[in-house]
Amino acid sequence: NNMASDSKRRKVDHPSYDHPHAVMPLGNCNDLSGQALSLGAFYCLPEVVVFHILELLGQQSLFSLAACLPQVSRALYAYANDENLWRDITLQRFKDGFSFHGSWKTTCLYQLLHSNPIKLKRWMGCKPTKWSSPTLYSDVLYMKWRNGTLENNPAWIETTTVDRRSDLPLQEFINDYEASSKPVVITDVVPTWPAFKKWSKQWLEERCGDKKLKAGLVNMTLKQYLDYCSTNRDERPLYLFEKDFFRKFPDCDKDYQKPEYFDDLFALLGEDRPDHRFLIAGPKRSGSSFHVDPNGTSAWNAVIFGKKKWILYPPHVIPPGVQASMDGKNFETPTSLLDWFHNYYDEVKAPGSQAVECVTGPGDIMFVPSGWWHCVLNIEDSLAITHNFVSERNVAKVIRMFREPSNCEYIGKCLGDQTADVPLWVAMGGNVLDEEGNSIAEGNDFCLCSRIKSDLMNKFEKNLGEARPGISSRINKTDSQVKKKLWKSVTTVSEEFSFGF
């Protein structure tokens, strides 16, 4: 799929040259001869290869391409100024934080040259050129820019098919929603929290602004992150997902209470429990693509401020645009979250669709049942608290999933990370090596991930049997019934023939 032969060309009906480097989608081009001349030998390469070549250049060489138009073609100049290219360089090089300066190229310049103000001033003096005719036809460059600048489609947020409830009795929640595996929005709990009344951006910056939190692959102070949120135009904005917020700011722990609806049996593990609660923050257009919460857990998400669009599919329905790996154990959404909405949202409303959707706003709690697929798009700058939890309704499923072999055992190589916590590193990956650099998992050896998961479940089942014996006995009875049903299904081929040992 080189630039000359794209079978799925985009087209815009009302061309404009608002893109800072006059890039247009391929579908708007009738003659690529000028582009071939401008790109030279690069013309025959897929765009992803062009970006890889540019990434291999040192920052100074790339700065030269991005600043010195007379020495490079207009097309190569547009590639060298791509914001996503500079974003990747900045995030890889400055993982311990940075101040965002309106664009990723400018941010990278400031980080590299802040100690040399004369050179910084010279580079900053190179202003982008504005053209009245297209410089380059590229779906990759154009769509990333468009997704970072367009307003959300109002049609995405006008439909709600998830129940909204207040004054919901506990037993009714259990019967009608949790036990029935049905999402619901609860509207009258969060407004009673102190956090709802005082956790504004200004309050958080004053109280928590100087400590670093996890935003994507980098650590940023909350003040740096809020500054970034206010000025970025990213297609995929950095998403703050901080597991240690309440350890770093223990006073904030008093500003909310776990709702009574969400009984969490994993609390029986005490300090050994997997990470389960997070502060989530993100600007408009940020969010999470389709996923299922790990290890059979359910989740609740409480919005302090902002608005979130939710799309959810039941466990047995793989959402459109989501691709399964060959072994069926891993899934990915190959497009960005905004691209998914542009390309697949109409299928949510198609006849026979089993998707449900809604918008949650300030004071709302979304309940996501175990196993449900969901994606979330922040319609506004948003802040939320989220918990994963294990209740009596899903505990047997969680235990079974923790007892299953980890991904490491399927591929013969440990995917864990000694410094992280179950279940995140089991799901996210990263190598575990011994002091000599060898993988801890050799062949069929029991790897670190599996050992920790097994030890964790042994402790959990022991504590559950002591603290909640009724639940423990019901799990054992249910587990026995599941095993008998499974054995019958795999040993019975037909009514005329069965096999056994």
CB within 8 Å of 206: residues ≥ 6 apart: none
Q: What is the mean pLDDT of residues 123-151?
A: 76
What average pLDDT does the segment 110-136 reach? 71
CA–CA distance, 53 with 421 (Å, rounded to integer): 36
264 or 127, higher pLDDT:
264
Structure tokens at 227: 């500054």
DSSP conformation class of 121: H
Amino acid at site 467:
A
The pLDDT of 5-10, averaged and rounded, is 48
In whole angstroms, what is the distance from residue 412 CA to residue 447 CA?
9
By CB atoms closer than 10 A (0-12, 13-18, 19+), residue 134 is: buried
Q: What is the pLDDT of residue 413?
A: 56
Placement of tokens 């311990």 in the chain: 96
Are 223 and 205 a contacting pair, CB within 8 Å? yes
Q: What percent of the chain has pLDDT over 90?
A: 46
d(CA 453, CA 403): 7
Report yes or no: 178 and 369 within 8 Å, Cβ to Cβ. Answer: yes
Among 17-26, 242-251, 458-467, name the one with the lowest average pLDDT: 17-26
Q: List, for residues 415-441, the tens digit of each pLDDT value.
A: 554 333 333 333 333 334 444 444 444
Determine the pLDDT at residue 195: 98
**pLDDT value at residue 377:** 96
Q: What is the mean pLDDT of residues 246-269?
A: 95
What pLDDT score was predicted for residue 201? 95
Higher per-residue confidence, 374 vs 494: 374
With bands split at pLDDT 50, 70 and 90, how would you rate the model's confidence at 500?
A: very low
pLDDT at 414: 59
The token duo for 389 is 């939890």
- pLDDT tens for each residue of 276-329: 999 999 999 999 999 999 889 999 999 999 999 999 999 999 999 998 765 556
> Concatenated DSSP letters for 248-281?
H-GGGGGG----TT---GGGGGGGGSPP-EEEEE
Distance CA 108, CA 110 (A): 5
DSSP annotation string for 370-388: TT-EEEEEESSSEEEEEEE
Instruction: Return the residue matching tokens 């645009």.
Output: 321
pLDDT confidence of residue 441: 40
Mean pLDDT of 169-173: 98
Among 450, 447, 213, 260, smallest CA distance to 365 is for 260
Average confidence (pLDDT) over 187-214: 96
Lookup: tokens for 283: 């600007």
Residues 6+ apart with CB under 8 A from 362: 190, 196, 303, 304, 305, 306, 307
Dihedral pair phi/psi, residue 194, rounded to 5°: -60, -35
Look at residue 492 and tell me whether its pLDDT is greater than 50.
Answer: no
Q: How far apart are alpha carbons 441 and 416 in whole angstroms?
A: 10
Contacts of 239 (CB under 8 A, 6+ apart): 215, 216, 280, 281, 282, 286, 287, 288
What's the whole-number mean pLDDT along residues 357-363?
A: 98
Confidence of residue 448 (pLDDT cuts 50, 70, 90): low
Measured CA to CA, the distance from residue 447 to residue 449 in angstroms comes to: 6
Q: Which of the two residues, 86 and 385, has the higher pLDDT score?
A: 385
